[in-house]
Amino acid sequence: MKKNWLYIVFLALFLGICLIFPVGTWLSGPSEAGANEVLSQPPKWEDKRGNWNDAYLQDAAAWYNDHFYLRQELVSTQRLLTGKVFGTSGEDSVILGKDGWLFYGSTLEDFTGTTDLTERDLYAMARNLYLMSQEKPLIFLVAPNKNSLHPQYMPNFGAQAEKTTGERLQDWLRELGVNFVDIYSAFQKEPVLYYATDSHWTPKGAALAADLINQAAGKTTNYYAGPFEPGEPYTGDLYEMLYPAFAGTEPDWIYGGQLDFSYVGNAQRPDSITLQTQSHESGSLLVYRDSFGNVLYPYLADSFGSVRFSRSTTYDLTGEEELVVLELVERNLSYLIEKAPVCHNPTVELSLPEPVGSLVLEKDTKANAPEGYVLWQGTLDSTPDVQSSVYVSAGGDVYEAFLLKENGVALYLPEGVQPDTLVWETGGVLESKTISEKG
């Protein structure tokens, strides 16, 4: 009899534990996503064509696994224990560093020099920026990955490369004469200007970046001198990704000086896709930026009379602004060769050799393009030399094309003008091909 009661107690305890999660989910609602986390959507009985969804049970299981009661608390605890016992984060997108520092997992290849980006890719990025600067005055800056500036806090994942991806790109920018701000050199001379548990620079780091941008634009500011005052305790994005249920913080310092600007329109959130500001200063500015711009933009808004901030990765330089600033984090530099910027391709004086063979370019009438122009793009059938530009003759002119990844090329031609010859250099020899239009 005593054994039967013992079995009943254990069975009740087991069932109670099993019911905690479904009952808790029913009573308190599904768990929310942590920082940068993308969870499964609720299952649907029908698929997109209105038929019975054969994967309904799998979709339901995936949704429950992502939303069950106390999920975030259990995930956070598991990762904390993994870090304490094994010294790793338990989350692929976060690297557990020394002294409480956290790093973005996707920056490891840039740090060790094992990135897939070739020297040709880096040249192509720099050349595209050079061509953009022929359309309108341009200032470019790489926002360094945190471990590029503070390798001493990285775990023992291998030696740091002699030069990071961003520094290698800057070498090409110097050679081509592109106007850029060297954040690496400036930040390495100063105390720590990045958060320990976040992937971004601090407000003081952004202030120094703004001063350097203004210097490159011919303006004099000294936001970096402050004053800076204690802000609310700060929880970094990497910490939230790693421990979504915990509330760890680090000290924060915010700018305490006067920033005199106002917003144009309703968009006022730092992470808005587009922000428009105005002030009593002179000059108009277009800023393409990523999340590093969230604490950078107030300084630039204070420095220029009219500023348009955009998070778009379609870099359109055909607006009325007098100057363009393009800020891009080191880990995303490949954006520069993923699609063509929207600006005119410069013409050059060049005699092209007779074509041998043919190559296909495709006309994209739906793509963004300068007014009165159409985008043409295609892929070369051989890998160009590292420093080879690509030229296209059309309508009696020769244009220099934008360089894209995997030997891609793109350019904008006036409507009604057909490209006829394409030239590049491979192995020190010019290759010239007749262009035919795709289908």
pLDDT, one tens digit per residue, over 375-404 is: 999 999 999 999 999 999 998 899 999 999
pLDDT of residue 361: 92
3-state secondary structure of 11: helix
Any idea what the Cα angle at residue 368 is, between residues 179 and 118, rounded to 5°? Answer: 50
Residues ≥6 apart with Cβ < 8 Å to 174:
none
Gap between the Cα atoms of 99 and 121, Å rounded = 35
Specify the residue for token string 């986390």: 37
3-state secondary structure of 413: strand
Gap between the Cα atoms of 182 and 34, Å rounded = 34
Within the chain, which residues score under 50 in pLDDT?
64, 69
Distance of CA 116 to the CA centre of its chain: 16
> Residues 421, 425, 428, 434: what is their CA dihedral angle, to the nearest 10 degrees?
-30
pLDDT of residue 199: 94
- The domains located in the chain, with CATH, are 2-69 (no CATH), 99-337 (no CATH), 358-437 (2.60.40)
Distance of CA 285 to the CA centre of its chain: 21
Which of 392, 390, 232, 202 lies closest to 299 in space, CA to CA?
202
Residue 186, φ and ψ in degrees, nearest 5: -65, -45
pLDDT of residue 69: 47
pLDDT of residue 350: 83
Gap between the Cα atoms of 181 and 205, Å rounded = 14
Pairing of strands 284-288, 323-329: parallel
Cβ(423)–Cβ(353) below 8 Å? yes
DSSP letter assigned to residue 42: P
Which of 143, 156, 277, 261 lies closest to 210 in space, CA to CA?
143
